[in-house]
Amino acid sequence: MDYQKALSFQKCALSILSQLVPKNDARLVMTYINVGCDYTQWSNDQLAIIYFQKTLIIIRDISTREYSNENVNPIISIFVFRFCFLVDRYIYDGNVSKALHYMNMAVQLYKRFNHIIQQYIDKDFDFPEEPIHQIVKLLATVAADTIRNDSKGALASSHSLLKLNVELNSTMVDLNLLATVSHRIASVYNLANKYEEAYSFAEAELRIRCNDSNPNFEIVASTPEWFARLYPNESTMQIL
């Protein structure tokens, strides 16, 4: 895909829409998200974050009001699902406080708009079924518990997520989704300096990717480096 052309069209659409609706109009959310995603694919994380933050400003405004508009609700639902893009950017930038801050916010957004999300499953936007909602909720809860230093809560949610992963392995073809979830949890634990837990999830990610019929070999090949960051001492690496 030519992300530069896609970005150009998205920014053009944003420019036109911005002239037609108020600056905090929910209809701008999807366009901001698309521009942010295009910048992400184009490896311009700094600009991607700017557009995701603009999205957050509108979402915060929306969260203080009640909406039943059929054009607004599905947009909110899409944003909740794509919210992890922003979290990922901060995780990979090594910004611990902001990564965990936005993950905690994801919990609140999920709770606030859960009734809307349920309304739009598999309707017009080809959303996955209920298990994906459980993944989003559990993933965000793990990070939120980490913020609160609630290790028991984080561990309980992690075990629930692992159990769900096992169940989904027998019912879902998209193993990449499960691997991505495991990677995100490992990243959050790594940022919290909980290396044993991070290693466990990183190992789970590798197992899932190797069992995938269409694995991402670039990610698999980079796994030793990922493990080395979790366990930097030489003796551990010799065991691996």
Chain segment 150-159, per-residue pLDDT in tens: 667 767 776 7
- Give the domain-ending residue among 82, 99, 116: 99
- Give the domain-ending residue among 30, 65, 99: 99
Same domain (yes/no): 1, 94:
yes
- Report how far residue 232's alpha carbon sits from residue 94's, in angstroms, rounded to the nearest whole number: 17
Number of C-beta neighbours around residue 223 at 10 A: 16
SS3 state of residue 2: coil
Query: Does residue 106 sit within a domain?
Result: no
Query: Does residue 126 sit within a domain?
Result: no
- Report how far residue 90's alpha carbon sits from residue 102's, in angstroms, rounded to the nearest whole number: 9
Instruction: Report pLDDT for 145.
Output: 62
Pick 236 or 84 by higher pLDDT. 84
* 101 conformational bin, left if phi > 0, alpha if psi -120 to 50, beta if neither: alpha
Query: Does residue 112 sit within a domain?
Result: no
* Contact assessment for residue 181 and residue 165, using Cβ atoms and an 8 Å cutoff: yes
Query: Does residue 135 sit within a domain?
Result: no
Model pTM? 0.40
Same domain (yes/no): 2, 77:
yes
Query: Does residue 111 sit within a domain?
Result: no
Helices 130-147 and 84-92, axial angle in degrees (round to 10): 40
CA distances from residue 126 to 120, 122, 130, 142, 222 in whole angstroms, order as listed? 9, 5, 12, 27, 32
**Structural domain harbouring 227:** 158-240
Number of domains the chain is built from: 2
Residues 6+ apart with CB under 8 A from 70: none
For residue range 32-81, list pLDDT tens digits in order: 767 776 776 666 667 777 777 777 777 667 655 655 455 555 555 556 55
Residues 6+ apart with CB under 8 A from 62: 26, 72, 76
| Joined tokens for residue 51 | 């557009």
Ranking 10-14, 95-99, 171-175 by mean pLDDT, the lowest is 171-175
- Report how far residue 7's alpha carbon sits from residue 38's, in angstroms, rounded to the nearest whole number: 6
User: Which domain CATH number covers 49?
Assistant: 1.25.40
Query: Does residue 107 sit within a domain?
Result: no
Confidence of residue 126 (pLDDT cuts 50, 70, 90): very low
Q: Is the dihedral of CA 99, 27, 134, 112 positive or negative?
A: positive
